């Protein structure tokens, strides 16, 4: 039972490019959310909501950075996968290019 599998390295690279754009687009809003929440926490010092806002800001920072890092890593993995598929195709082509050499017709 054989199913055709076709991997297009160009599509993998396009997906990597999209992931890079997402990572870039999320950086400024993520930083702004953390910065403004921390500023609100500072402004609310003495109020019961102040510490809660500070917890939100400090909790969001590593979570948002982790999400950014995962998207960036995903983009790098897509590029590596594209490279690997091209390498396999090139190697396979070279290995079978002269398969008939040395064999009588």
Q: Using H for helix, E for strand and C for coil, what is the string for 24-91?
A: HHHHHHHHHHHHHHHHHHHHCCCCCHHHHHHHHHHHHHHHHHHHHHHHHHHHHHHHHHHHHHHHHHHH
pLDDT tens for the 105 residues of the chain, in order: 557 778 899 999 999 999 999 999 999 999 999 999 999 999 999 999 999 999 999 999 999 999 999 999 999 999 999 999 888 877 766 666 666 665 555
Domain edges within the chain: 9-88
What is the distance in angstroms between the CA of the first residue and the CA of the last residue of the chain?
Answer: 31
Q: What is the pLDDT of residue 6?
A: 83
**CA gap 19, 36 in Å, rounded:** 26
Q: What is the model's pLDDT at position 7? A: 84
């Amino acid at each position: 039972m054989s199913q055709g599998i076709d991997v297009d390295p160009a599509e993998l690279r396009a997906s990597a490019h999209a992931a890079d754009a997402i990572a870039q687009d999320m950086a400024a809003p993520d930083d702004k959310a953390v910065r403004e929440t921390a500023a609100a926490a500072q402004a609310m010092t003495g109020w019961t909501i102040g510490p809660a806002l500070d917890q939100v800001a400090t909790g969001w920072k590593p979570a948002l950075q982790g999400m950014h890092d995962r998207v960036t890593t995903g983009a790098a993995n897509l590029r590596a996968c594209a490279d690997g598929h091209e390498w396999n195709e090139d190697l396979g082509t070279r290995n079978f290019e002269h398969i008939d050499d040395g064999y009588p017709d």
